[in-house]
Amino acid sequence: MTENNSPGVRLRAAVNAERPLQVVGVINAYGALLAERADFRALYLSGAGVANASFGLPDLGLTTLTEVVEEVRRIVAVTDLPLLVDADTGWGDDLMIAHTVETLSRAGAAGLHLEDQEQGKRCGHRPGKTLVSIEEMRARVAAAVRGRRDEQFVIMARTDAYSLEGLEAAVARAQGYVEAGADMIFAEALSSLEEYRHFTQAVKVPVLANMTEFGRTPLLTVQELGEAGVRLVLYPLSAFRAMSAAALQVYQTLRREGTQQSLIEQMQTREELYEILGYYDYERQRDARPSKEKKS
């Protein structure tokens, strides 16, 4: 049964309202508040983001569904923006994939993407990837559809086939995944605007382009991708990379100079933090509570 304003409904509405839809990655609830402040309409939780930021681990499928769900709950608790979640390969067989969909939906996610790599997955922009057969991935997609309790929850299928099998094979896989029930397609690691144009013309559902930095895909603009038919543009870890570089600079400066004085102009102020968090509203609510009567 579908709720009129479920997260999946909101994500689909955003895809239709903004063409292409910019989807920005957040690593935690505070990041979601910042992205909302910047007027994004949709958020993304990266598997790499959870592994890197929360556990200090590489993006090699080392985190679990339970760990990702906890981050989902924290993010959706502070924002109504729809959240697309990286579900890697689904954390198991078909039964587990259906459970993954149901669990993420109950946690408040708007949708997920599953990829066609083998269980021992790698970053999509690294060498050494291996793929499951198109039949196995179609079975994954079908299992995800079976696990859906809200028919508007988005099932996105990611294909990593381009870098291993070529463009036409990636297109054929994507078409097969759509036939199996995928609502949208994540075309990983394409290398040119012309390839995106060819892909979107051949695949008749919304296609996502991953504009991750330092990868195999050039950093194309929203306008360029929109003109090529792309419907979603993803920036999975842009803010995390910038935050990490800034944090390292702060730590090094503190260690070297023994003071943060030279960094103050680069910092968010206490007042800015309080304004984003709504700190004073919380404080007023606490101050408005009746005082406890003194014990006689």
What residue numbers does the annotated binding site cover? 46-48, 86, 88, 123-124, 158, 188, 210-212, 241, 270
Question: Which one from 10, 18, 36, 59 is the annotated catalytic residue?
Answer: 59
Q: List the binding residues for Mg(2+).
A: 86, 88
Question: Which one from 12, 140, 158, 231 is the annotated catalytic residue?
Answer: 158
Amino acid in the structure at residue 42? A
For this structure, is 168 an active site residue?
A: no
For this structure, is 99 an active site residue?
A: no
Burial class (CB in 10 A: 0-12, 13-18, 19+), 216: middle
Question: Which one from 18, 36, 71, 86 is the annotated catalytic residue?
Answer: 86
Structural contact between residues 25 and 210, judged by C-beta atoms closer than 8 angstroms: no
Nearest in space to 27 (alpha carbons), one of 235, 272, 266, 249: 235
Question: Which one from 36, 71, 88, 150 is the annotated catalytic residue?
Answer: 88
Q: List the binding residues for substrate.
A: 46-48, 123-124, 158, 188, 210-212, 241, 270
> How far apart (Å, rounded) are the C-alpha atoms in residues 93 and 30?
33
For this structure, is 93 an active site residue?
A: no
Token representation of residue 96: 């587990």
> How far apart (Å, rounded) are the C-alpha atoms in residues 277 and 280?
9
User: Is the omega angle on the peptide bond into residue 20 within 30 degrees of 0, that is, cis?
Assistant: yes
Residue 166 CB contacts under 8 Å (≥ 6 apart), including other chains? none
CA torsion sign for 154, 155, 160, 166 is negative
Cα 233 from chain centre? 11
Cα 25 from chain centre? 5
Burial class (CB in 10 A: 0-12, 13-18, 19+), 132: middle
For this structure, is 4 an active site residue?
A: no
For this structure, is 86 an active site residue?
A: yes
Token representation of residue 14: 């955003």
Question: Which one from 123, 160, 177, 231 is the annotated catalytic residue?
Answer: 123
For this structure, is 272 an active site residue?
A: no
Amino acid in the structure at residue 53? A
For this structure, is 210 an active site residue?
A: yes
For this structure, is 88 an active site residue?
A: yes
For this structure, is 115 an active site residue?
A: yes
Token representation of residue 244: 């990490």
User: What 3-state DSSP class applies to 43?
Assistant: strand
For this structure, is 113 an active site residue?
A: yes
Longest dimension (CA), the chain: 82
Q: Which residues are catalytic?
A: 44, 59, 86, 88, 113, 115, 123, 158, 188, 210
